[in-house]
């Protein structure tokens, strides 16, 4: 039976419950992280914990634990569930309040840790790549709600993903309100053109993905020029390679976007090299 951590205690999965008055449920008022464990080691642990605390700070939540305590709780939860290769979902909610949205009435934020097996994309997707469409739903404006905050309110991304379902594709490209490419509904996006790896800058209004940072670092170390710059749909259509990356997906090639076949329609050499090096790293 899976054990779930809630505010310092471990509960059986069936008994792991939080109040219907928690503002995480009532308003999506909270933040989260998705983290991988490979071979008994938490991948990019410090980076994820730092981002969790920054997300919380950005929305004025004081996590009632130190970073060290959160890491210890995460390690304990993984251990008790005997998980060496898996996925951790860390959540911090605003906590219990009343039906009004006033966060001041929520006394104590709740910390929840779910450690489980990872649900991977089917293996053929890594060999053949994915088809994408551009969603009509724009990424929410960063001054309205910064995508840098990994908040519990993912409706913007869900609305875009639903457009993907309508079009029978698994992922979608989201643009910002200036029409530049931001990211996918749950992954960052990168392209290769004439040997240069390009990805939208954080200022385009994206979640600054930890896998994205890792891939840029790997590419830089292997001598590839890496640029963070604004990307248009045109740039995607005429790219030599396009791929997405994220904690759960790792690296997946996009071989068709809005009906345009990217290059020869197969995952490209830079993608293959980066995926190989990423897998070596983890």
Among all residues, which ones are annotated catalytic?
150
For 138, the token pair is 């724009």
How many whole angstroms separate alpha carbon 47 and alpha carbon 236?
29
207 is a contact residue toward ligand PMP (CB under 6 A) = yes
The owner of tokens 């090639």 is: 253
Residue 234 φ then ψ, to 5°: -55, -45
DSSP assignment string, 201-253: -GGGT----HHHHHHHHHHHHTT-EEEE----HHHHHT-SEEEEEETTTEEEE
Which region among 75-83, 101-109, 119-127, 204-212 touches ligand PMP (by CB under 6 A)?
A: 204-212
209 is a contact residue toward ligand PMP (CB under 6 A) = yes
Here's the x/- map for ligand PMP, 214-233, by CB under 6 A: it reads as: --------------------
The site for ligand PMP, by CB under 6 A, has a size of 13
Q: How far is the CB of 49 from ligand PMP (least distance, A)?
A: 12
Length of the chain: 282
In the complex with ligand PMP, the residue whose CB is nearer, 49 or 106, is 49
Q: Which of 188, 252, 268, 270 binds ligand PMP (CB under 6 A)?
A: 188
For 243, the token pair is 């791929």
211 is a contact residue toward ligand PMP (CB under 6 A) = yes
Please give the residue whose beta carbon sits closest to ligand PMP in the complex. Answer: 209
The total of other beta-carbon atoms located within 10 Å of residue 35's CB is 24
199 is a contact residue toward ligand PMP (CB under 6 A) = no
In the complex with ligand PMP, the residue whose CB is nearer, 33 or 241, is 33
183 is a contact residue toward ligand PMP (CB under 6 A) = yes
How many whole angstroms separate alpha carbon 4 and alpha carbon 13?
6
The owner of tokens 């994206």 is: 206
Parallel, antiparallel, or unpaired for β 41-42 and 181-184?
Answer: unpaired
186 is a contact residue toward ligand PMP (CB under 6 A) = yes
Q: Where are the beta strands (DSSP E) in the chain?
A: 3-6, 9-12, 30-38, 41-42, 86-93, 110-116, 130-134, 171-175, 181-184, 188-193, 196-199, 225-228, 241-246, 250-257, 260-261
Chain centre to alpha carbon of residue 158 = 13
Here's the x/- map for ligand PMP, 109-148, by CB under 6 A: it reads as: ----------------------------------------
81 is a contact residue toward ligand PMP (CB under 6 A) = no
Q: How far is the CB of 177 from ligand PMP (least distance, A)?
A: 16
Picking from 143, 144, 62, 67, the residue whose alpha carbon sits closest to that of residue 104 is: 62
Instruction: List, in sequence order, every residue forming a beta bridge with 131; answer none if it has no partner.
Output: 256
171 is a contact residue toward ligand PMP (CB under 6 A) = no
Which region among 163-171, 186-194, 197-205, 266-274 touches ligand PMP (by CB under 6 A)?
A: 186-194
Q: Which of 106, 130, 210, 216 binds ligand PMP (CB under 6 A)?
A: 210
Residues within window 41-70 making contact with ligand PMP, judged by CB under 6 A:
none
Contact 128, 165 (CB under 8 A): no
161 is a contact residue toward ligand PMP (CB under 6 A) = no
Contact residues for ligand PMP, defined by CB under 6 A: 34, 157, 183, 186-188, 207, 209-212, 246-247
């Amino acid at each position: 039976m899976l054990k779930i951590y809630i505010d310092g205690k471990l509960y059986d999965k069936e008994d792991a419950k939080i109040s219907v008055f928690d503002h995480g449920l009532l308003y999506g008022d909270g933040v989260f992280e998705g983290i991988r464990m490979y071979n008994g080691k938490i991948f990019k642990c410090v980076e994820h914990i730092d981002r969790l605390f920054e997300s919380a700070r950005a929305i004025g939540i004081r996590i009632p634990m130190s970073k060290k305590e959160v890491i210890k709780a995460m390690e304990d939860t993984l251990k008790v569930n005997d998980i060496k290769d898996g996925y951790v979902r860390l959540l911090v909610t605003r906590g219990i309040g009343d039906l009004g949205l006033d966060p001041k009435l929520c006394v104590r934020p709740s910390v929840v840790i779910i450690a489980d097996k990872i649900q991977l994309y089917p293996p053929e997707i890594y060999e053949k790549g994915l088809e994408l469409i551009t969603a009509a739903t724009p990424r929410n404006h960063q001054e309205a709600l910064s995508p840098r905050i990994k908040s519990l309110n993912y409706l913007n991304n869900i609305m875009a993903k639903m457009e993907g379902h309508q079009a029978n594709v698994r992922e979608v490209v989201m643009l910002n309100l200036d029409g530049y490419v931001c990211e996918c509904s749950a992954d960052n996006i990168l392209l290769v053109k004439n040997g240069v790896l390009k990805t939208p800058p954080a200022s385009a209004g994206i979640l600054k993905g930890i896998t994205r940072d890792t891939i840029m670092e790997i590419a830089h170390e292997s001598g590839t020029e890496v640029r963070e710059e604004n990307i248009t749909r045109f740039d995607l259509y005429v790219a030599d390679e396009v791929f997405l990356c994220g904690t759960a997906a790792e690296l997946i090639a996009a071989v068709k976007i809005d009906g345009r076949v990217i290059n020869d329609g197969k995952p490209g050499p830079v993608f293959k090299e980066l995926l190989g090096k990423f897998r070596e790293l983890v």
